Amino acid sequence: MEGLIFRIGVKSFYQTNPEQAYELYKITRDLAEIQSTDLVYDLYTGTGTIANFVARQARQVIGVEYVPEAIEDAKINAQINGITNTLFFAGDMKKVLDAQFVATHGQPDVLITDPPRAGMDKEVIDVIRLAKPHRIVYVSCNAATQARDLALLMDEYQIDVVQPVDMFPHTHHVENVVRLTRKA
């Protein structure tokens, strides 16, 4: 992907359709509208594929993932690609991402989230609301849990773009990418 090489371990998740994964990541990056001064959080970063893919545009990208082996791959992926503006943290998202984490690492300008099918825990959404990123890009393979999570953000955010990506042609499975911007 644009010259990037990714190591994906056996305990790590990666999109099974690599050609469409590239399209998904390009759409995610485009919708994020990352500027060179932006701090980006990448929640559920996995092996850091999105974090490393968008790092060239950002001041810094911070990835959080609950699978320690995936975070080790994310760190290796940054290293083998010469990416020096990423930080990766392993642990239960609702325990790692808290008010202290945001106070320590900074308020994100952009937040990208690509949670598992179950979506995000309410505690994670509460911290996102507390962090007040200008833009959120929510990638999901489960429209029902994505809609549930988005409903919890609608007081502070508005949906600008919804873009499905056909990951498995000739099936009903899609990844859905939604961009939200903070209301004035």
Q: Amino acid letter at 12?
A: S
Active site residue 127: no
Give 177's contacts (C-beta < 8 A, 6+ positions apart): 24, 27, 28, 31, 137, 138, 139, 161, 162, 163, 164, 165
Cα gap 56→53, rounded to integer Å: 7
- Exactly one of 34, 141, 150, 153 is catalytic; which is it? 141
Q: Where are the beta strands (DSSP E) in 32-143?
A: 39-43, 60-65, 86-90, 110-113, 135-140
Indicate which residues carry an active-site annotation: 141
